[in-house]
């Protein structure tokens, strides 16, 4: 597991961040299609960490956050690595190329990333077909699959709810739970969907179509506590199953000025704010929280779970630490 930090990461970090990401994902996709390669991956054992959250069984509380495997190409490999659940996406109703490159930037001294990808993905129809084929192949993972859906860039805000519903209809038979991403800073105007009237309409229209899948909402770390209160109240009113807290931040004060870029900041600089929001939600709501953002050590993970998170998710910490982070967290718990 230490070979990633000693050998693989230095090689990957010499590459353009997005090219390195695509290379790693392609390798994991190849592994996912090979039973014997899957068997040689180290899989940490965590029998004592099993839990049931919003009616789903999780072999451990550590998940892969949305954004890493947007198109769902490496699900068996994520399970083999030891993740307790996977969240793919963000997926939009139609394919999108996203924003112009370069659009991912490393800040190694801060163990951080800035991205402005813009929901680049193959679209709900193509990804649905890939998932159906995986299910038919018999290689479907034995851990919960979350599907994160977002707004198509060209769709105006007043039509956003219908756009989310279109994606949900195409994918609702394939996900174990669903997350409404209304908090990415990289789709113009998207965060306005966190306002009460718009988000209430979104929750309501999705639930009309929902056959009973757990439905969660992913919120921004840049919200005020009163804004969070509004979203929590509406989540309860519309019978949502939980909250994913938090997305990336547009507050870049925690990183060197010369490294700042337009986009969402993730990694260690987000740790304190994400934890603060988790603790706030726990103090005012009984809704389950999936905590993500700034988890880069085993101690970070333990603090989140001790602070009331039902589940946690990794992204930037996994890029910097690799599979060793997953093993360290499981060992510490």
Residues with active-site annotation:
184
Torsion of CA 163, 85, 311, 62, to 10 degrees: -130
Residue written as tokens 């690799």?
322
Q: What is the DSSP letter of 100?
A: P
Select from 324, 319, 302 the least CA-distant residue to 61: 302
CB burial of 258-292 (b: ≥16 within 10 Å; e: otherwise) equals ebebebbbbbbbbbebbbebbbebeeebebbbbbb
How many whole angstroms separate alpha carbon 7 and alpha carbon 20?
A: 14
How many whole angstroms separate alpha carbon 91 and alpha carbon 99?
A: 15
Q: What is the DSSP letter of 151?
A: -
3-state helix, strand, coil in the chain (%, to 5): 45, 15, 35
- Reading the block at residue 29, the tokens are 């996709």
**What does the radius of gyration of the chain's CA atoms come to, in whole angstroms?**
18
What is the total residue count of the chain?
333
């Amino acid at each position: 597991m230490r070979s990633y930090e000693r050998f693989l990461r230095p090689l990957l970090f010499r590459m353009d961040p997005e090219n390195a990401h695509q290379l790693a994902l392609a390798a994991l996709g190849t592994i996912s299609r090979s039973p014997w390669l899957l068997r040689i991956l180290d899989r940490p054992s965590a029998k004592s960490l099993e839990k049931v959250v919003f009616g789903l069984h999780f072999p451990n509380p550590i998940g892969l956050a949305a954004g890493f495997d947007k198109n769902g190409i490496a699900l068996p490999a994520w399970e083999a690595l030891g993740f307790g659940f996977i969240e793919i996406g963000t997926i939009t109703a139609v394919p999108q190329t996203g924003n112009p490159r370069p659009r991912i930037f490393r800040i190694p001294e801060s163990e951080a990333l800035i991205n402005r990808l813009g929901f680049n993905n193959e679209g709900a129809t193509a990804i649905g077909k890939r998932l159906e084929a995986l299910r038919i192949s018999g290689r479907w993972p034995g851990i919960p699959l979350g599907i994160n859906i977002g707004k198509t860039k060209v769709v105006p805000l007043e039509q956003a709810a219908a756009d989310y519903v279109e994606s949900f209809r195409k994918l609702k038979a394939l996900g174990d739970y669903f997350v409404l991403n209304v908090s990415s800073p990289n789709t113009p105007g998207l965060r306005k969907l966190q306002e009460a009237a718009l988000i209430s309409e979104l929750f309501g229209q999705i639930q009309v179509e929902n056959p009973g899948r757990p439905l969660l909402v992913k919120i921004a770390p840049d919200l005020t506590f009163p804004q969070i209160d509004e979203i929590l109240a509406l989540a309860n009113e519309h019978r949502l199953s939980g909250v994913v807290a938090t997305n990336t931040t547009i507050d870049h004060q925690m990183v060197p000025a010369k490294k700042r870029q337009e986009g969402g900041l993730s990694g260690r600089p987000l740790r304190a704010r994400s934890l603060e929001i988790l603790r706030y939600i726990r103090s005012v709501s009984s809704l389950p929280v999936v905590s993500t953002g700034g988890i880069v050590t085993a101690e970070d993970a333990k603090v989140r779970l001790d602070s009331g998170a039902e589940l946690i998710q990794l992204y930037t910490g996994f890029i910097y630490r690799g599979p060793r982070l997953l093993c360290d967290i499981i060992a510490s718990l």
